[in-house]
Amino acid sequence: MVKSMLFQKDKGNLIIISGPSGVGKGTVCRALLEKYDDVALSISATTRKARIGEKEGREYFFYTREKFLQLIEKKAFLEWAEVFDNYYGTPLPYVQKILQQGQDCLLEIDVQGALQVKAKWPTGVFVFLVPPSREELVRRITCRGTETITEMQKRLKQAEDEMAHLQEYDYVVVNDFVQQAVEKLRAIIVGERCRVSRLNL
Ligand code: 5GP
pLDDT at 2: 42
| Torsions phi, psi for 174 (to 5 deg) | -85, 125
Residue % of the chain over a pLDDT of 90: 73
CATH number at residue 60: 3.40.50.300
- Do the domain assignments include residue 25? yes
Residue 201 falls within a domain, yes or no? no
Kindly state the average pLDDT of the residues 145-157: 82
Domain containing residue 147: 4-196
Q: Ligand 1 center to residue 185 CA distance, Å?
A: 19
Looking at residue 142, its pLDDT comes to 82
Rounded average pLDDT over 175-185 = 97
Domain count, the chain: 1
What are the C-alpha distances in Å from 35 to residues 11, 44, 186?
20, 21, 10
Which residue CA neighbors atom 22 of ligand 1 most closely? Answer: 113
Q: Is there a contact between 81 and 113 (Cβ–Cβ < 8 Å)? A: yes
Domain assignment present for residue 73? The answer is: yes
- Does the beta carbon of 90 lie inside 6 Å of ligand 1? yes
C-beta 108 within 6 A of ligand 1: yes
Q: Does the predicted TM-score (pTM) go above 0.85?
A: yes
Q: Atom 1, ligand 1: which residue's CA is nearest? A: 21
* For the CA of 45, the nearest atom of ligand 1: 19
